[in-house]
Amino acid sequence: MPQTYRIDCLQYANWSPKIFDQMREGGLDAVHVTIAYHEDFRATAANIADWNLRFQRHSDLIFKGRTGDDVRRARETGRTAIFLGLQTPAPIEADIGLVEILHDLGVRFMQLSYNNQSLLATGCYEADDPGITRMGRQVIKEMNRTGLVVDMSHSADRSTLEAIEISDRPIAITHANPSAWHPAKRNKSDDVLRALAQSGGMLGFSLYPHHLKGGSDCTLDDFCEMVARTADLMGPDHVGIGSDLCQDQPDSVVDWMRVGRWTREMDYGEGSASAAGFPPQPEWFRDNRDFATLETGLRRVGFSDENISGVIGGNWLRFYDESFGPAT
């Protein structure tokens, strides 16, 4: 079997030494972590400072990742490379110059919108989607120049399709599933997935129960059959894992994710009050120690060793190699 790197391209946990130990137990070579949902630049910089302190205190387990080679260094040194990302463009405020500064600080992914309309693009919970804004076009150009990846995981369809067309470099949808499999608002249409693959982009499959058919009761076989169908649609080189694992978080955090400080009312997002709080993970993917289970499930639905290696991390590693540096 080819060498299998294990990469999870989205987590937002209540970070602790326990979780870093579990990353090592699960053989995770790299994890993309969210450092902002609603924060402005100053608050995001404070979150980066918190991560820098974690890198100092737990240097035997984790370090800051900046390039694909850091994933290889993680494997060689028995650690996990942590890549920083933003689920909102709020940290650049209305200043395009902050794109390069955030990249210099180690940020490697930025969503153009979270659930709402932003200065750049439309979120998936808005009723109307006018597409990428004037500022959004300029920010995409600057992100392409610096090597900050355009992420459209929470964006509406028109905005996502326009971002794919406008971007000179492949973009990512780091954590979502096909809406044809499960019609969550954040899951993506086949038209979006085809365009993403044709442009060289990447999809990370989400294991967040609200994005799964059957929710917490989704079976491993059903999930892996969905991965297989999507690989047929997009090609096996354009899919990976972006689990959206929110481990050890209190329910108050999911409320904050949805409403931040932009409203005094609760916005359940997924469509009903039943979406309040964090649902339990499927029993076959509780935390980072269960990545081997995904490999078992993919093999059971007919994936070759080579394609398993790609889905579990090799495809993301190739994307990291090509995406994180300045445009050439």
Q: 324 versus 254: which is more confidently predicted?
A: 324
Tokens at 279, concatenated: 């649902």
* Tens of pLDDT, residues 273-298: 445 688 999 999 999 999 999 999 99
Identify the band that residue 3 occupies on the pLDDT scale cut at 50, 70 and 90: confident
Phi, psi dihedral angles at 106 (to 5 degrees): 110, 0
Identify the band that residue 121 occupies on the pLDDT scale cut at 50, 70 and 90: very high
Tell me how far apart the alpha carbons of residues 318 and 143 are, in angstroms, rounded to a whole number.
19
* pLDDT at site 306: 97
* Tens of pLDDT, residues 63-75: 999 999 999 999 9
Identify the band that residue 2 occupies on the pLDDT scale cut at 50, 70 and 90: low
* Tens of pLDDT, residues 152-173: 999 999 999 999 999 999 999 9
- Range with lowest mean pLDDT among 8-12, 236-240, 264-268: 264-268
* pLDDT at site 141: 98
For the cut 70, the answer to whether the pLDDT of residue 268 exceeds it is no
Tokens at 1, concatenated: 């079997």
Domains and CATH numbers, the chain: 7-323 (3.20.20.140)
On whether the CB atoms of residues 94 and 119 are closer than 8 A, the answer is: yes
On whether the CB atoms of residues 208 and 172 are closer than 8 A, the answer is: no
